[in-house]
């Protein structure tokens, strides 16, 4: 049975991709960014998903109910932007940065309250658990009947070749859904981009998109040792002035990925080696848009149009939820829904009040 789901704050489609792979029927999504919305549409045309390309605060939930046509909403999923509470934005401060997007978690709550989905899923930065609004939302969800669990996990435990910690909250009106523990086998950079063709011969335009550097920067890249080297390995004359002071600057900038390890977190700066460890393990260049997307576990043919600025492509890839990670969460939710449905079939005289045959 295909269960109905909606994807709030969908970005370019990582969550939707994962839920579809877990067997869900995604009927609607919401995304305000025009570039991310365009990529979402291009990659999900065949699924007949209604994409609302507007501010979620202006969307009435009745529009979702109209799309459901009387069918139940089995899952409401989403990642409300809370950039103000990310570790990078806080720069080790205890309090969240002031960011108007932080309050969008209340829109997630509004959709849950008004649509009453059978299950819910929310993913976000680990620091969210200390955020006052999250605590209020969590308390409100419990009050209206949701059995909840949240946990901070590393996506590397779920088949994603990347070090990326995330808070996951799963909730249900049926029974508690535990966040899955993940797998023991860790996937590596080599597993996902090791067999890609050279950027010089590829016909994949996304694999041609990476920054070109000045001769001085290119020389610095060439001197960075293969397979995991960093800026600390460079001769003193290549050390940037901003890196000469103690405790200033990020250690991973201008670093190379390691073939047989997970990558560093793919961020919105993933196509700029000055923003993190985003140099190719061997070749003297930054990773390409295709390589970044693969390290996020997007499928090989996920389409990113050539006319979208490279900075926007990097941002949407870095902000995306890894599809493989979302699939893992979706599968445990689906299992819980299957169990409830089976209970209805077996105990026909006392069917569930939540899932009706």
Provide the CATH number for the domain around residue 291: 3.90.120.10
- The answer to the question of residue 354 being in a domain is no
The CA distance from 277 to 251, in Å, is: 9
Which pLDDT score is estimated for 279? 97
- Residue 303 in this model has a pLDDT that exceeds 90: yes
- The answer to the question of residue 84 being in a domain is yes
Sign of CA dihedral 330, 335, 338, 343: negative
- Residue 94 in this model has a pLDDT that exceeds 70: no
DSSP three-state, residue 35: helix
Which pLDDT score is estimated for 105? 95
Residues 18 and 35 in one domain: yes
pTM over 0.85: yes
Residues 73 and 152 in one domain: yes
Residues 258 and 292 in one domain: yes
Which pLDDT score is estimated for 81? 87
Helix %, strand %, coil % of the chain (to 5) = 40, 15, 45
Residue 144's CB is within 10 A of a number of other CB atoms, namely 11
- Rg, Å, the chain Cα set: 22
- Residue among 258, 262, 257, 259 at smallest CA distance from 273: 257
Q: Which residue has the higher pLDDT, 167 or 99?
A: 167
Residue pair 276/267 in contact by the 8 Å Cβ criterion? yes
Residues 111 and 17 in one domain: yes
Q: Binning pLDDT at 50, 70 and 90, where does residue 266 land?
A: very high
Residues 274 and 135 in one domain: no
- The answer to the question of residue 60 being in a domain is yes
Which pLDDT score is estimated for 242? 54
Q: What phi and psi, each to the nearest 5 degrees, are found at residue 154?
A: -105, 125
- 50-52 and 75-78: which strand pairing? unpaired
Residues 310 and 166 in one domain: no
Which pLDDT score is estimated for 88? 44
**Mean predicted lDDT score pLDDT of the chain:** 89
Question: What pLDDT digit, counting tens, does each position of 269-291 carry?
Answer: 999 999 999 999 999 999 999 99
How many separate domains does the chain show? 2
Question: What is the DSSP secondary structure assignment for residue 98, as one 8-state letter?
Answer: P
Residues 311 and 337 in one domain: no
Which pLDDT score is estimated for 98? 56
Residue pair 206/152 in contact by the 8 Å Cβ criterion? no
Question: What pLDDT digit, counting tens, does each position of 315-357 carry?
Answer: 999 999 999 999 999 999 999 999 988 766 544 444 455 665 4
Residue pair 8/78 in contact by the 8 Å Cβ criterion? yes
Residues 153 and 26 in one domain: yes
- The answer to the question of residue 15 being in a domain is yes
Arithmetic mean of pLDDT, 118-126: 96
Q: Which of 59-68, 211-220, 298-307 has the lowest mean pLDDT?
A: 211-220
- Residue 99 in this model has a pLDDT that exceeds 60: no
Name the residues annotated as catalytic: 82
- The answer to the question of residue 353 being in a domain is no
**Which CATH number characterizes residue 106's domain?**
3.40.50.150
- Residue 35 in this model has a pLDDT that exceeds 70: yes
- The answer to the question of residue 72 being in a domain is yes
Residues 334 and 308 in one domain: no
HSE-CB at 30 with a 13 A cutoff on CA atoms is: 24
Residue pair 279/273 in contact by the 8 Å Cβ criterion? yes
Segments forming the whole domain that contains residue 290: 196-319
- Residue 3 in this model has a pLDDT that exceeds 70: yes
The CA distance from 265 to 278, in Å, is: 9
Residues 326 and 312 in one domain: no
Residues 302 and 169 in one domain: no
- Residue 299 in this model has a pLDDT that exceeds 90: yes
Burial 23-59 (b: 16+ CB within 10 A, else e): bbbbbbbbbbbebbbbbbbebbeeeebebbeeebeeb
Residues 211 and 160 in one domain: no
């Amino acid at each position: 049975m295909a269960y109905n789901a909606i994807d709030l704050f969908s970005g370019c489609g990582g969550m939707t991709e994962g839920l579809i792979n877990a067997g869900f029927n995604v009927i609607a999504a919401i995304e305000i960014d025009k570039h991310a919305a365009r990529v979402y549409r291009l990659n999900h045309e065949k699924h007949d998903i209604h994409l609302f390309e507007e501010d979620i605060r202006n969307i009435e939930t009745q529009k979702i109910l109209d799309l459901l046509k009387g069918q139940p909403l089995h899952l409401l999923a989403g990642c409300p932007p809370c950039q103000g509470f990310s570790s990078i934005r806080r720069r080790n401060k205890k309090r969240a940065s002031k960011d108007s997007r932080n309050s969008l978690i209340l829109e997630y709550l509004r959709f849950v309250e008004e649509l009453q989905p059978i299950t819910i899923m929310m993913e976000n930065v680990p620091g969210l658990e200390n955020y006052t609004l999250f605590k209020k939302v969590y308390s409100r969800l419990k009050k209206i009947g949701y059995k909840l669990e949240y946990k901070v996990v590393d996506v590397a435990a779920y088949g994603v070749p990347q070090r990326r910690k995330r808070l996951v909250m799963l909730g249900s009106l049926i029974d508690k859904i535990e966040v899955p523990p993940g797998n023991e086998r860790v996937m590596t950079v080599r597993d996902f981009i090791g067999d890609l063709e050279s950027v010089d011969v590829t016909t994949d335009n996304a694999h041609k998109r990476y920054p070109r550097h000045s001769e001085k920067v290119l020389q610095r890249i060439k001197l960075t040792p293969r397979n995991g080297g960093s800026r600390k390995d460079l001769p003193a004359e290549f050390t940037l002035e901003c890196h000469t002071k103690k405790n200033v600057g990020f250690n991973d900038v201008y670093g190379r990925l390691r073939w047989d390890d997970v990558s560093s977190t793919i961020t919105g700066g993933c196509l700029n080696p000055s923003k993190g460890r985003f140099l190719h393990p061997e070749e003297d260049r930054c990773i390409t848009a295709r390589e970044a997307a693969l390290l996020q576990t997007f499928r090989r043919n996920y389409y990113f149009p050539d006319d979208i600025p490279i900075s926007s492509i990097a941002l949407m890839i870095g902000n995306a939820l890894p599809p493989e990670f979302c699939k893992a969460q979706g599968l445990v939710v689906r299992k819980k829904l299957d169990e409830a449905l089976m209970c209805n079939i077996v105990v026909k005289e006392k069917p569930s009040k939540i899932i009706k045959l």
